Structure 1
Amino acid sequence: MTLVNDAAPAVRSTGRKFRAFTAKHLDELTARAGLSPEQRLATRAVATVLPFRTNAYVIDELIDWAAAPDDPIYRLVFPQPDMLPEADVAHLTGLLRREAPKAEVEAAAHAVRMKLNPHPAGQMELNMPSFGDGKIPGMQHKYDETVLYFPKQGQTCHAYCTYCFRWAQFVGDADLKMAGDDVDQLRDYLVAHPEVTSVLFTGGDAMIMGEPVLRRYLEPLLELDQLESIRIGTKSLAYWPQKFVTDPDADDMLRMFEQVVDAGKNLAFMAHFTHPRELEPLVLSEAVRRIRDTGAVIRTQAPLIRSINDDPAAWESMWRTQTRMGMVPYYMFVERDTGPQDYFAVPLGRAHDIFRNAYKNVSGLARTVRGPSMSATPGKVCVDGVVDLFGEKVFALHFIQARNDDLVNMPFYAKYDPEAVWLDDLKPAFADRFPWEA
Structure 2
Amino acid sequence: MALQASAGRRFRAFTSKHLDELTARAGFGEDERLAIRAVATVLPFRVNSYVIDELIDWDAAPDDPIYRLTFPQADMLPAEDVARIVDLLRADAPRQEINRVASEVRARLNPHPAGQLQLNLPKMGEEPMPGVQHKYHETVLFFPKQGQTCHSYCTYCFRWAQFIGEPDLKMASDEIDRLVAYLRQHPEVTSVLLTGGDPMIMGEAVLRRYVEPLLELETLESIRIGTKSLAYWPQRFVTDPDADDTLRLFEKVVASGKNLAFMAHFSHPRELEPAMVQEAVRRIRGTGAVIRTQAPLIRTINDDPEIWATMWRTQVRQGMVPYYMFVERDTGPQDYFAVPLAEAYEIFRNAYNSVSGLARTVRGPSMSATPGKVCVDGVTEINGEKVFVLHFIQARDPELVNRPFFAKYDEKAVWLFDLKPALGATRFPYEAEPAGDASEPVTGAHP
| The two structures share one fold, judged by TM-score above 0.5 | yes
Aligned twin of 2:65: 72
Three-state SS of the structure 1 residue aligned to 2:427 is: coil
Confirm or deny that 1:200 pairs with 2:193. yes
Contact 1:301 1:333 in 2 (8 A): yes
Aligned twin of 1:286: 279
Aligned twin of 2:399: 406
Aligned twin of 1:3: none
Offset, 1:357: 0.3
Confirm or deny that 1:29 pairs with 2:22. yes
Confirm or deny that 1:49 pairs with 2:8. no
Q: Distance in 2 between matches of 1:403 and 1:263?
A: 29
Alignment gaps of 5+ in structure 1:
1-8
**What is the 5 A alignment of 1:12-411?**
12-411=5-404
Contact 1:10 1:61 in 2 (8 A): no
Contact 1:322 1:328 in 2 (8 A): yes
Contact 2:6 2:50 in 1 (8 A): no
The verdict on how the C-alpha distance between 1:125 and 1:13 changes in structure 2, with shifts beyond 3 A counting, is: closer
Aligned twin of 2:409: 416
CA deviation digits over 1:115-159, x for unaligned, max 9?
Answer: 000000011111211222411021011101000000000000000
Amino acid of the structure 2 residue aligned with 1:21: F
Q: Normalising by the residue count of structure 2, what TM-score does the alignment of the two structures yield? A: 0.95
Aligned twin of 2:429: 435
Q: Distance in 2 between matches of 1:279 and 1:411?
A: 35
Q: Distance in 2 between matches of 1:129 and 1:50?
A: 29
Amino acid of the structure 1 residue aligned with 2:24: A
Q: Distance in 1 between matches of 2:369 and 2:396?
A: 10
CA deviation digits over 1:18-40, x for unaligned, max 9?
Answer: 01000000000000100110000
Aligned twin of 2:437: none
CA deviation digits over 1:80-112, x for unaligned, max 9?
Answer: 111100100000111000010010000000000
Alignment gaps of 5+ in structure 2:
434-447
Contact 1:268 1:299 in 2 (8 A): yes
CA deviation digits over 1:201-220, x for unaligned, max 9?
Answer: 00000000000000000000
Q: Distance in 2 between matches of 1:132 and 1:80?
A: 46
Amino acid of the structure 1 residue aligned with 2:175: D
Aligned twin of 1:5: none
Three-state SS of the structure 2 residue aligned to 1:386 is: strand
Q: Distance in 2 between matches of 1:407 and 1:32?
A: 50
Q: Distance in 1 between matches of 2:257 and 2:106?
A: 43
Three-state SS of the structure 1 residue aligned to 2:358 is: helix
Offset, 1:177: 0.3
Three-state SS of the structure 2 residue aligned to 1:436 is: coil
Q: Distance in 2 between matches of 1:141 and 1:205?
A: 19
CA deviation digits over 1:278-301, x for unaligned, max 9?
Answer: 000000000000000000000000
**Count of aligned residue pairs for this structure pair:** 430
Offset, 1:10: 9.2
Amino acid of the structure 2 residue aligned with 1:160: Y
Structure 1 stretches of at least 4 aligned residues deviating more than 4 Å after TM superposition? none
Amino acid of the structure 2 residue aligned with 1:337: D
Offset, 1:11: 2.9
Three-state SS of the structure 1 residue aligned to 2:331 is: coil
Contact 2:378 2:389 in 1 (8 A): yes
Amino acid of the structure 2 residue aligned with 1:182: E
Q: Normalising by the residue count of structure 1, what TM-score does the alignment of the two structures yield? A: 0.97
Greater mean alpha carbon deviation, residues 122-131 or residues 355-364: 122-131
CA deviation digits over 1:24-58, x for unaligned, max 9?
Answer: 00000000100110000000000000000000000
Contact 2:3 2:276 in 1 (8 A): no
Aligned twin of 1:6: none
Amino acid of the structure 2 residue aligned with 1:203: G
Offset, 1:333: 0.1
Greater mean alpha carbon deviation, residues 378-387 or residues 125-134: 125-134
Offset, 1:188: 0.4
Offset, 1:13: 4.0
Contact 2:345 2:365 in 1 (8 A): yes
Amino acid of the structure 1 residue aligned with 2:417: D
Amino acid of the structure 1 residue aligned with 2:410: D
The verdict on how the C-alpha distance between 1:190 and 1:295 changes in structure 2, with shifts beyond 3 A counting, is: same
